[in-house]
Amino acid sequence: MNVTPLPDGLGLKVDVDGTRPLHELTSGLNAACDEAESHQGERLVMVLRLGSTTAHQRAWPGDVRIQDVNRWERAVRRLERLTSMNIAVASGACGGPSLDLLLASDFRIGARNLLLMLPVNDGHFWPGMGIHRLVQHLGVARARQIVMWGDDITADKAHNLALIDQISEDVAGSVHTATVLMGRISDQELAVRRQLLLEAGSSDYDDALGPHLAACDRELRRLREQTPTSVPVGEERAWPVR
């Protein structure tokens, strides 16, 4: 993976070559996370440009050890927990590691020619954490259809399923717009809200209440620090009332 600053200075661009061996991809992803974490306290966007996968490279991850798979999954999880906003940009055939990174990103832009290719080995869908993320995004019923049948997903279908947020003819322009907008909310609180979203599908109300109240308490304290001592009449619009 090649990590370079974005031209507008708002973040980092990470070029992902999905054809590289698993250990190289893992090292590259960890290096990109290291670079993002070195900007702690800054509002940062990481743009992942996902390389294409050819039809004969559908199989994933190849002849590797389970320890190698574990390191990769931990690196993807690390990406999910960064305080930076992560934007995935995908075009052409997208499978294997590129699909994992797409599903782990906060905002996903697809070119019109995007084709999501599910990783299949000897007729069997790869049982990695991509299945878990598909269930989180789609629910069990829709994810079951995709995993059991292993059909490729076009850009239009991916957009209808909300696996991508936007289809763009002008990918560069869409990336710039998204980077400017998303950069405004990249901070520690983004990571908190992302975690609440990820846990919502698997936590019951009583288990989720504590983390949500803790996040609400932090937000209330932040608002108090920024709120003037007197609020003009007619401007008391924030909720909840304190």
Question: Going from the N-terminus, what domains does the chain have, and what CATH number goes with each?
Answer: 2-185 (3.90.226.10), 188-226 (no CATH)
pLDDT, one tens digit per residue, over 1-14 is 888 888 777 788 99
What backbone phi and psi angles, to 5 degrees, belong to 34? -60, -45
Tell whether the model's pLDDT for residue 56 goes beyond 60.
no
- CA pair distance 77, 81, nearest whole angstrom: 6
Best-predicted range by mean pLDDT among 43-57, 61-75, 81-95, 173-187? 61-75
Per cent of the chain over pLDDT 70 is: 86
Compare 97 and 181 and report the one with higher pLDDT: 97
Give the pTM: 0.81
- Residue with the bigger pLDDT between 69 and 239: it is 69
Residue 238: pLDDT band (50, 70, 90) is: low
Query: What's the mean pLDDT in 112-127?
Result: 88
